[in-house]
Structure 1
Amino acid sequence: MAKQEVKDKKVIITGANSGIGYEAAKVLAEQGAHVVLAVRNEERGNEAAQNIVKEHEGANISVMKLDLSDLASVKEFADAYKEGFDQLHILINNAGVMIPPYQKTKDGFELQFGGNHLGHFALTGHLLPMLKATPSARLVTLSSIAHRGASIDFDNLDGSKGYKAMKFYGQSKLANLLFAKELDNRLKRAGINATSVACHPGIAATNLFKVGGERMQPFLKPLLHKFFQAPEMGVLPTLYAATEGTLKGGEYIGPDGRGNRKGNPTIEVPAKGVYDEKTMKKLWDVSEKLTGVMFDFS
């Protein structure tokens, strides 16, 4: 391992008020990074920031509003960040919703595909000029083992022809993985000094499992801590993806245990055929069309 120094580096983490994002913010702030908590709920974001500062006196934390289910909010966040900062060393596309009832975003997208993938796609596109201007910038996008066996149903992305929550969650996490890989491919082709890496936490006991409804908690809560790893372990692939100096870009980082559910971070090889070039290009083109965000690799 050759961990990169993060002291004084500028880091954005989406969904950083809880779970994996919060754990990543704690560690990176402790190591001296200036961490921006990009959160939908600013009150919870401020609470998270205060807790980090209490634990690590002198931590450099900012809280900024970002609603990934609203493309206008995504652009407002990016514009505000570019006004307040001159560099962006690490962007961690972490926020996500999991198996909610059928809902649409403010722009009419199915919530999981819209928030988990399209929101992060648009955010990355808006911030690309700053990432290009920052030497050795790193982009990290969180996927999930739920991408296994998933596919992108381009004929039903909005769920209007039928919706199954877990199927659409898997689709959104596959989209995250394909986006991260295709982004790295395009950065390399353009000769841009930035790398894109995907990762996943295995199965971590975070409040992501509450998203499907509070009714799930009574029977899920004991199981989470018995069978799943703690967030402090679940965050390790994210930290590795964000700071490991030997990564070349395009890697997929996950736990090294059985089924990649638990353990220490390692480079994981996705199932054969996952990185289908036609699917990755189609997803990219559709994402640009739906979001109206065009990436400038020049």
Structure 2
Amino acid sequence: MPSKNFTFDNIPDLSGKVALVTGANAGIGYITARELARKKAHVFVCARNIEKGQSVVATIKAETGNELIEFLQLDLLSLKNIKEAADKFMARGLGLHMLINNAGIMATPFSLSADGIEAQFATNHIGHFYLTQLLLPALEKSAPSRIVVVSSLAHRALAPGKGIDFENINTNKLSIWARYGQSKLANVLFANELDRRVKDKNIYVNSLHPGVVKSNLMQGPKLSWGRWMAVYTAIQNFFSLSTEDGALTQLYVATSPDIENDNLRGQHFMPIGKLGTMSAKAMDKILAKELWDYSERIIKEKVGE
């Protein structure tokens, strides 16, 4: 169990702040949304499933007494839906102080998104890349603001040797774990490149590894590998963080005064609320620019933007 550099009690009062959390219907995303709400933020709970998302909103309202909790339907496997969700949010004219790109899938069987993009890369990277671009005006309006990109330690060990295998992103040539590691490396590369592009706009962009957490992320490996994964999961859970502790690092990056006081931007954090290090590939500025250009090109091809 890593030592705690941050607890729920350390979250400052967030009255007047607006936060948007992707994947907020379960796991560390739910805990993150709940604790932001407890500190009086106006929280948008983003999830694909409407029924589950609305249920979570009702639960958070009941637990925190905060009525400023809203559901925003968001399907990261559909660029069209992402645009619709962003347009709905932007039409409110609220501004945005915290964008927490939390949603993710892990080691799922090979499949393609509605736009023909490999599902892990689409969900974990492209979807969040597009959403962030669409919401940047609201983040600029609310500066100082923060963008939190949830990655994984997997960005170090599981990505292909070249880092991002651009030629095979949408093929079945990579293993399920290589595809996952590639998408998590993309998260860090995106965060670093975005930081370089917006640092003069008073937006703080950081990435993080939340820890090995007891969560529904293990549904992917179960679907890929079958029943024996239940045994692996039981063993892993013995050594894993609770969802409460798993959410602490992203809550630290999203809310702690340290981020602005110490000018912490373009950094990578580890449990719990501690500065970590990135892989050499993650710090490769040329690879980050190549990924940025590739992502923009994919979106332009699919949606004409």
- Are 2:155 and 1:147 aligned? yes
Deviations for 1:239-263, whole angstroms, at most 9, x for unmatched residues? 01101222221111111xxxxxxxx
Q: 1:101–1:77: structure 2 CA closer, same or farther, 3 Å change rule?
A: same
Partner residue of 2:177 out of 160, 166, 183: 166
- Are 2:194 and 1:194 aligned? no
d(CA) in 1 for partners of 2:26, 2:233 = 16
Which residue of 2 is the match for residue 65 of structure 1? 73
Deviations for 1:149-191, whole angstroms, at most 9, x for unmatched residues? 322111111125x131110000000000110111001112xx2
Which residue of 1 is the match for residue 3 of structure 2? none
Query: What amino acid does structure 2 have at the position aligned with 1:211?
Result: G
Which residue of 1 is the match for residue 242 of structure 2? 230
| Contact map agreement 1:4 1:243 (CA 8 A) in 2 | yes
| Contact map agreement 1:16 1:37 (CA 8 A) in 2 | yes
Deviations for 1:12-53, whole angstroms, at most 9, x for unmatched residues? 000100011001011100000011011100111112112212
Alpha-carbon RMSD across the aligned residues, in angstroms, is 1.7
d(CA) in 2 for partners of 1:292, 1:34 = 32
Which residue of 2 is the match for residue 251 of structure 1? 267
- Percentage of identical aligned residues: 38
d(CA) in 1 for partners of 2:94, 2:66 = 21
Consecutive unaligned residues of structure 1, counting only runs of 5 or more, are 256-263, 294-298
| Contact map agreement 1:204 1:224 (CA 8 A) in 2 | no
Q: 1:20–1:274: structure 2 CA closer, same or farther, 3 Å change rule?
A: same
Which residue of 2 is the match for residue 24 of structure 1? 32
Partner residue of 2:20 out of 12, 16, 19: 12
- Are 2:192 and 1:184 aligned? no
Query: What amino acid does structure 2 have at the position aligned with 1:82?
Result: M
Query: What amino acid does structure 2 have at the position aligned with 1:210?
Result: Q
Deviations for 1:109-149, whole angstroms, at most 9, x for unmatched residues? 00001111000000000111111111201000100011013
**Post-superposition offset of 1:222:** 2.2
Query: What does 1:78-93 align with in structure 2 at a 5 Å threshold?
Result: 78-93=86-101
Query: What amino acid does structure 1 have at the position aligned with 2:52?
Result: R
Deviations for 1:251-285, whole angstroms, at most 9, x for unmatched residues? 11111xxxxxxxx2201011345310110000000
**Post-superposition offset of 1:4:** 5.1
| Contact map agreement 1:30 1:59 (CA 8 A) in 2 | no
**Post-superposition offset of 1:213:** 3.5
Which residue of 2 is the match for residue 37 of structure 1? 45
Instruction: Give the ranges of 4+ consecutive aligned residues of structure 1 lying more than 6 Å apart after TM superposition.
Output: none
TM-score calculated relative to the size of structure 2? 0.88
Partner residue of 1:205 out of 194, 200, 214: 214
Consecutive unaligned residues of structure 2, counting only runs of 5 or more, are 1-5
Partner residue of 1:283 out of 288, 291, 295: 291
Query: What amino acid does structure 2 have at the position aligned with 1:80?
Result: K
TM-score calculated relative to the size of structure 1? 0.90
SS in 2 for 1:97: coil
| Contact map agreement 1:142 1:176 (CA 8 A) in 2 | yes
Which residue of 2 is the match for residue 219 of structure 1? 231
Number of paired residues? 282
| Contact map agreement 1:16 1:38 (CA 8 A) in 2 | yes
Query: What amino acid does structure 2 have at the position aligned with 1:175?
Result: A
Mean alpha-carbon deviation: is it higher for 217-226 or for 120-129?
A: 217-226
d(CA) in 2 for partners of 1:211, 1:85 = 37
SS in 2 for 1:274: helix
Query: What amino acid does structure 1 have at the position aligned with 2:168?
Result: N
| Contact map agreement 1:32 1:59 (CA 8 A) in 2 | no
| Contact map agreement 2:49 2:73 (CA 8 A) in 1 | yes
- Are 2:254 and 1:242 aligned? yes
SS in 2 for 1:212: helix
Which residue of 1 is the match for residue 140 of structure 2? 132
| Contact map agreement 1:203 1:234 (CA 8 A) in 2 | yes
d(CA) in 2 for partners of 1:112, 1:14 = 15
Greater helix share, 1 or 2?
2
d(CA) in 1 for partners of 2:202, 2:300 = 25
Which residue of 2 is the match for residue 266 of structure 1? 274
